[in-house]
Amino acid sequence: MTSPPFSLQRAKEYGNVNQKDYVDWLAEFAWKIMTVLSESGSFVLDLGGAYEKGKPIRSLYNYKILIKFCEEIGFKLAEEFFWFNPSKLPSPIEWVNKRKIRTKDSVNTIWWFSRSDFPKANVKNVLVPYSERMKKLLSSGEKYYRPKLRPSGHDISENFNNDNGGAIPSNLLQIPNSESNSKYLNSCKIAGIKSHPARFPKSLPAFFIRFLTDPGDLVLDIFAGSNTTGEAAEDNGRRWIAFEENREYLAASAFRFIESFDEKELIAIYNQILGDRTISIKIPRTERQLNLF
Ligand SMILES: C[S@@+](CC[C@H](N)C(=O)[O-])C[C@H]1O[C@@H](n2cnc3c(N)ncnc32)[C@H](O)[C@@H]1O
């Protein structure tokens, strides 16, 4: 599961390759992922949309990535997801706010790739609450609706009145990215360290981790940033590995797993990781060992 630096026009502080080279650049990583991904494994890629430079025209880069990864590298598109983030700010200001000729772009594409046609997946692990209407139907279904053969030919009578513990989620994931009070953010504040500027919300990787892996399986984020994915994996009893090239982001990511809110202790751990030293911390919640190097 990963969210790479996006192909935006304006250079982000964590570095960006330009749009033209972006697809090829990301494909280099995808080739490597293909060599280590298990037969039943999945590769979930979150990509934000982008405009072409100076024009109110969308870049096709996320679709080019999809096609290249499937047609050249050999991934299968298991399903496409759309992450709707209602708290996203309007952008680019020129087209959306000033000239008012484009709407607010608040959806990221998330490509769920796999090696095989049947990657491990279990929707039962990610059921969502039933709608109020469905709850009513479940409590006294016969009164409201008598299932019959649908015009499409589907016979839904057999499974209709069963309470399965929740509804099947759709591929539109509505998750606000508005975290303001997490352990990670608070620790960064206490230690006086800038938090990562482009985190995704923990429920996003958590959804795919629960959906596509079992406890004990291994989750890898190759562009880990603040390591939201690692924390979601840890919360859900999965093993995980995180790669991050910026040592400052890596160092602050350790805050996710440290119980202490002591300024001196946080800064000491941060500096130790920055100092290029291997460090091992016991994660108190799970008693597992966190190794940073
Ligand atoms: C969009 S951010 C990921 C944020 C992450 N999902 C989170 O919630 O914190 C992308 C990250 O990729 C890192 N990155 C860029 N090139 C990289 C590379 N070649 N290897 C490892 N990390 C890289 C950047 O430093 C940046 O932190």
Element (H, E) at 46: strand 42-48
Structural domain of 144: 131-167
Instruction: Please give the structure tokens belonging to residue 190.
Output: 């206490």
pLDDT tens, per residue, the chain with 293 residues: 999 997 553 344 434 446 668 999 999 999 999 999 999 999 999 999 989 888 999 999 999 999 999 999 999 999 999 999 999 889 899 999 999 999 999 999 999 999 999 999 999 999 998 888 888 888 876 666 666 667 777 766 656 667 888 999 999 999 988 888 899 999 999 999 999 999 999 999 999 999 999 999 999 999 999 999 999 999 999 999 999 999 999 999 999 998 888 899 999 999 988 887 778 888 877 788 888 87
Same domain, 3 and 117: yes
Same domain, 174 and 187: no
Q: Which residues pair with 225 in a beta bridge?
A: none
Q: The pTM is what? A: 0.90
d(CA 244, ligand 1 centre) in Å: 6
d(CA 167, CA 183): 31
Active-site positions read 3-4, 46
Q: Where are the alpha helices (DSSP H) in the chain?
A: 19-36, 61-68, 93, 132-144, 183-191, 203-212, 228-235, 247-253, 263-274
Tally Cβ neighbours within 10 Å of residue 240.
23
d(CA 283, CA 224): 18
Does 231 sit in the ligand 1 pocket, CB within 6 Å?
no
Of the candidates 68, 66, 67, 48, the one whose C-alpha atom is nearest the C-alpha of residue 58 is 48
Our mutation pick for probing the ligand 1 site, out of 83, 195, 202, 223, counting the most ligand atoms within 8 A of Cβ, is 223
Q: Whose CA is nearest to atom 20 of ligand 1?
A: 245
Does 108 sit in the ligand 1 pocket, CB within 6 Å?
no
Burial 254-281 (b: 16+ CB within 10 A, else e): bbbbbeeeeeeebeebbebbeeeeeeeb
Residues 160, 141 contacting (CB under 8 angstroms): yes
The residue written with tokens 């994660």 in the block is 283
Same domain, 110 and 141: no
Q: The domain spanning residue 79 has which CATH number?
A: 3.40.50.150
In sequence order, the 6+-apart residues with CB closer than 8 A to the CB of 34 are: 73, 74, 75, 115
Does 184 sit in the ligand 1 pocket, CB within 6 Å?
no
Does 245 sit in the ligand 1 pocket, CB within 6 Å?
yes
Of the candidates 80, 84, 69, the one whose C-alpha atom is nearest the C-alpha of residue 33 is 69
Same domain, 192 and 259: yes
Our mutation pick for probing the ligand 1 site, out of 14, 62, 193, counting the most ligand atoms within 8 A of Cβ, is 14
Same domain, 75 and 161: no
Q: Into how many domains does the chain fold? A: 3
